[in-house]
Amino acid sequence: MIVTVDVGNTRIKASVFEGDTSFGFFVFEKVALGENLKKILDDFPLVESVVVSSVGDIDKASFLVFESRVKVCFVSRENVFPFENNYGTPNTLGIDRMVLAAGATLMFPNQNRLVIDAGTCVTYDFVDENNVYQGGAIAPGMRLRYESMHNFTAKLPLLQLESPESYIGKSTAQSMHSGVVNGLVYEIDGFIDTYRASCTKIIIILTGGDAEFLAKRLKNTIFANSNFLLESLNQTYQYQINND
pLDDT in tens, 111-152: 999 999 999 999 999 999 999 999 999 999 999 999 999 999
pLDDT at 87 over 80: yes
Alpha helices in the chain (DSSP H): 33-43, 61-64, 95-107, 142-151, 172-177, 183-198, 211-215, 228-243
| 50: nearest Cα among 15, 22, 19 | 15
pLDDT in tens, 189-230: 999 999 999 998 999 999 999 999 999 999 988 899 999 999
> Where along the chain do its domains lie?
2-74, 84-233
pLDDT in tens, 155-190: 999 999 999 989 999 999 999 999 999 999 999 999
Q: How far apart are CA 12 and CA 6, in angstroms?
A: 6
Q: How far apart are CA 209 and CA 35, in angstroms?
A: 22
The CATH number assigned to the domain with range 84-233 reads 3.30.420.40
pLDDT at 56 over 80: no
Q: How far apart are CA 142 and CA 161, in angstroms?
A: 8
Q: CATH 3.30.420.40: does it fit domain 2-74? A: yes
Q: Catalytic residues, which ones?
A: 96
pLDDT at 171: 96
Please determine whether the domains at 2-74 and 84-233 fall in the same fold group of CATH: yes
